[in-house]
């Protein structure tokens, strides 16, 4: 029996996971598992930056107000204030770690701040247009050097080990089973505390800016373990994903519009002022719906984002990654507009977690995109996501370090005695393709009850097939991810059917108006 033991197990290697590991490792043995490499998550792809009140011209109240406005009445105001108030400390910590943010000696704090949709002030600190990469590479280097952190790459979590599954009277979390993708062995990982930092579920949709790892693993595992989830209907579509046959989900940063980029139809007509008085600087849900409307109205494959009025020097300084990538594809953004379409970008809902990142299951935490904290409401304000990762990772670390340790019970090995090798693995790829297509068609930017019910019917058919496959055959990474994606799809559709209004990222043709007293959509597992 292969058993690994740690004080704390972190599942996921995005910004939240790496931050937690570093904040715990001086006094604990930390195990960190990641499905691919240490830098293969969504955090590394973040372009725009991190929102925080850093300038004397900005205020905490302004950042809070902008967040609440973008969240369309569903943000938890106390949580929002908590996160915003801890923003500067989070940025200071990153600077202390050595993150090389873009400098601006003319500013009152020495760093360049940009502005993005929904923000009333310049408050986005960034490292050119590759902030996530700069942050992740800095923290990953420290994680790999730390003697108390064991990094297990190419390990995919199978399920959490809880008291209920062990037949114990409590339902604490004692660790997890994980598949070593290189040896094809399921290992048992025991831990006093377990953190879900697995990111969102963007791969449940056909078109997404998310990496292939974004299969909602943490949300699905937490749900199966007895945790509530909330606001899963609010899936954020980023308005501007590069539209090109050779570009795989390449994001055109929100900051391009923040620095004056204009959205246009193919004939050059600007259209955003007709949809919202904030035009291109409206929140993402507004801009994504406007683009979707114009594409359907005119029968377009894409619209265009024009930043060509800025100089080559400006574009190369502020958007070097975007400039170089587009040029590689034959698009000179200093001379021509960028073809763009909306694509799924962020899961605003997730596993319910409190201000210390604790879930409904004792000793189980959820941080980052996996979690629902109440910060994002019905729509996430641009660049608040990395801030949330930092603030709640710090809160979870403090809570874990303040707790006394308790003995762990013996944990059983993974039982494969009654399964065989799969005979038709093509079923998995077919089911995955079917799921992503009908979720895009039926549970997209604009929804109807009929579309949602069709999606729900197909999901339940897929669930039956996958459950049978899971029970009878050896597990594989593709099977585990498909199982989790279908569970996320079910939660998204169920939540969407329960919301009888249009708000933020959820727009229903059957319920076009907003309710006067909005509430979060909270789902509770039947097994609780």
- Give the pLDDT confidence of 248-303 residue by residue, as tens digits: 778 898 889 989 999 999 999 999 999 999 999 988 888 988 998 999 899 998 99
Average pLDDT over residues 385-400: 97
β-bridge partners, 30 = 8, 149
Query: Catalytic residues, which ones?
Result: 284
Measured distance between the N- and C-terminal CA atoms of the chain, rounded to whole angstroms: 31
Regarding predicted confidence, which is higher, 424 or 123?
123
Q: Are 378 and 81 in contact (CB under 8 A)?
A: no
Residue 157 has pLDDT above 90, yes or no: yes
Residue 109 has pLDDT above 90, yes or no: no
Q: What local confidence, expressed as pLDDT, does residue 195 receive? A: 98
Structure tokens that stand for 22 in this block: 């570093």
CA nearest to 291, candidates 231, 342, 235, 335: 342
Residue 1 has pLDDT above 90, yes or no: no
What is the pTM assigned to this prediction? Answer: 0.91
How much of the chain exceeds pLDDT 90, in percent?
Answer: 76
- Average pLDDT along the chain: 93
Count how many Cα atoms sit within 13 Å of the Cα of residue 42 in the half-sphere of its side chain: 28
How much of the chain exceeds pLDDT 70, in percent?
Answer: 98
Q: What local confidence, expressed as pLDDT, does residue 215 receive? A: 95
Q: What local confidence, expressed as pLDDT, does residue 245 receive? A: 84
Q: What local confidence, expressed as pLDDT, does residue 127 receive? A: 92
Residue 412 has pLDDT above 70, yes or no: yes
Give the number of other Cβ atoms within 10 Å of residue 172's Cβ: 20
Q: Return the C-alpha torsion angle 58, 234, 39, 388, nearest 10.
A: 40
Residue 442 has pLDDT above 90, yes or no: yes
* Residues whose CB is less than 8 angstroms from the CB of residue 280 and which lie 6 or more positions away in sequence, other chains included: 117, 257, 261, 262, 263, 272, 287
Residue 142 has pLDDT above 60, yes or no: yes
- Strand stretches in 258-337, DSSP E: 262-264, 303-306
Residue 350 main-chain phi, psi, to 5 deg: 160, -155
Q: Are 245 and 331 in contact (CB under 8 A)?
A: no
Q: How far apart are CA 126 and CA 494, in angstroms?
A: 37
Residue 150 to residues 28, 35, 143, 397, Cα–Cα distance (Å): 11, 14, 9, 17
Q: What local confidence, expressed as pLDDT, does residue 527 receive? A: 66
> Alpha-carbon Rg of the chain, whole angstroms?
22
Q: How far apart are CA 72 and CA 523, in angstroms?
A: 20
List, for residues 35-49, the tens digit of each pLDDT value.
998 888 888 888 789
CA nearest to 126, candidates 145, 106, 107, 101: 101
Go through the domains of the chain in sequence order and give each one's CATH number. Answer: 240-343 (3.90.700.10), 426-523 (1.20.58.100)
Q: What local confidence, expressed as pLDDT, does residue 426 receive? A: 74
List, for residues 4-32, the tens digit of each pLDDT value.
999 999 999 999 999 999 999 999 999 99
Place of tokens 């037949």: 167
Least trusted range by pLDDT, from 220-229, 240-249, 322-331, 360-369: 240-249
Q: How far apart are CA 69 and CA 65, in angstroms?
A: 6
Q: What local confidence, expressed as pLDDT, does residue 424 receive? A: 63
Regarding predicted confidence, which is higher, 195 or 416?
195
Q: What local confidence, expressed as pLDDT, does residue 417 receive? A: 64
Give the number of other Cβ atoms within 10 Å of residue 320's Cβ: 13
């Amino acid at each position: 029996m292969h058993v690994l033991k740690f004080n704390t197990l972190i599942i996921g290697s995005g910004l939240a996971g790496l931050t937690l590991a570093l904040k715990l490792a001086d006094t604990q043995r930390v195990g960190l598992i990641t499905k691919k490499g240490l830098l293969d998550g969504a955090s590394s792809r973040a372009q725009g930056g991190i929102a925080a009140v850093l300038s004397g011209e900005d205020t905490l109240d302004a950042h809070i107000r902008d967040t609440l406005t973008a969240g369309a009445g569903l943000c938890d105001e106390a949580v929002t204030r908590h996160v915003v108030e801890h923003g500067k400390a989070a940025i200071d910590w990153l600077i202390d770690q050595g993150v090389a943010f873009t400098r601006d000696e003319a500013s009152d704090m020495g760093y360049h701040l940009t502005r993005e949709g929904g923000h009333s002030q310049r408050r986005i600190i960034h490292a050119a247009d590759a902030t996530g990469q700069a942050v992740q590479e800095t923290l990953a280097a420290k994680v790999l050097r730390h003697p108390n952190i064991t990094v297990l790459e190419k390990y995919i979590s199978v399920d959490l080990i809880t008291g209920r599954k062990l037949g114990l009277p409590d339902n604490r979390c004692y660790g997890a089973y994980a598949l070593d993708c290189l040896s094809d062995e399921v290992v048992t990982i025991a831990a006093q505390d377990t953190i879900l930092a697995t990111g969102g579920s963007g791969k449940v949709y056909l078109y997404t800016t998310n990496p292939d790892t974004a299969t909602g693993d943490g949300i699905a595992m937490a749900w199966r373990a007895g945790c509530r989830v909330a606001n899963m209907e609010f899936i954020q579509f980023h308005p501007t994903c590069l539209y090109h046959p050779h570009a795989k989900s390449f994001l055109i940063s929100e900051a391009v519009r923040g620095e004056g980029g204009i959205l246009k139809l193919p004939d050059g007509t600007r259209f955003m002022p007709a949809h919202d008085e904030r035009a291109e600087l409206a929140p993402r849900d507004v801009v994504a719906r406007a683009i979707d409307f114009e594409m359907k109205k005119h029968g377009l494959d894409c619209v265009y984002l024009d930043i060509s009025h800025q100089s080559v020097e400006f574009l190369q300084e502020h958007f070097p990654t975007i400039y170089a990538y587009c040029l590689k594809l034959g698009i000179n953004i200093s001379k021509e507009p960028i073809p763009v379409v909306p694509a799924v970008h962020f899961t605003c809902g997730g596993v319910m977690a409190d201000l210390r990142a604790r879930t409904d299951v004792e000793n189980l935490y959820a941080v980052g995109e996996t979690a629902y904290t109440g910060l994002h409401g019905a729509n996430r304000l641009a660049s608040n996501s990395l801030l949330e990762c930092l603030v709640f990772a710090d809160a979870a670390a403090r809570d874990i370090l303040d707790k006394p340790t308790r003995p762990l019970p013996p944990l059983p090995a993974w039982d494969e005695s009654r399964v065989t090798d799969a005979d038709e693995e093509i079923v998995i790829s077919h089911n995955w393709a079917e799921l992503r297509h009908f979720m895009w068609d039926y549970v997209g930017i604009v929804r109807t009850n009929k579309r949602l019910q069709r999606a729900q019917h197909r999901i339940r058919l897929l669930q039956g097939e996958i459950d049978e496959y899971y029970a009878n055959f050896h597990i594989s990474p593709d099977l585990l991810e498909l199982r989790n994606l279908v569970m996320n799809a079910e939660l998204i559709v169920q939540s969407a059917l329960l919301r009888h209004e249009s708000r933020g990222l959820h727009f229903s043709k059957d319920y076009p108006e907003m309710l006067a007293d909005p509430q979060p959509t909270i789902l509770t597992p039947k097994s609780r």
